Amino acid sequence: MIYGDDVVDHHWPYDGPHNDDQTTQAAAAISRLVRYLNNATGPGHSDSALPYAAIGYRVISNLTNAVHGLRQLLPQLAEFLERQAADPTLYDDRRGGPNAMPADDTASAAAYSLRSAMRHVSELASDLNLARSHAVHLGNEDPR
């Protein structure tokens, strides 16, 4: 059996190291795990991936925790982009193209979009909390 906590702690220990490769790969892992869950809970797989209500609760609960973490992550990424906007080495690769913007404006626009996403994260977190608070009460009778 693979335990997600062990995999994460092995590859991405909380206290680091924190570097560009580790950060990028952690985000890639999140994307791949969501893809895995999409497939596992889809048609043809959901009976084995979600055999009991308690498993659904555990999945919802972990997703709720992940979304709550975005409340910290998104503003930190916005702050990073705001610092990048002040970096004289920053450039926008659309130089001279029809959609070109000064790099500081591009970084600022990305930061603004992340901050804007926070209202959606808060709403999603609230809805997931509600789903979790209902799902925790569900169980299945032993068919024997």
**Interval 118-136: pLDDT, tens:** 999 999 999 999 999 999 9
**Residue written as token pair 């992940």:** 66
Residue 31 — pLDDT band, cuts 50, 70, 90?
very high
When the pLDDT of each residue in the chain is averaged and rounded to a whole number, the result is 94
CA angle 72, 13, 71 (to 5 degrees): 10
Pair 61, 112: CB distance under 8 Å = no
Alpha carbons 135 and 62: distance in angstroms, whole number:
13
Average pLDDT over residues 74-96: 95
Q: Are 74 and 117 spatial neighbours (Cβ–Cβ below 8 Å)? A: yes
CA distance 25 to 31: 10
Write down the pTM of the prediction: 0.87
Question: 58: how many CB neighbours lie within 10 A of its CB?
Answer: 15
**How many alpha carbons fall within 13 Å on the CB side of residue 91?**
6
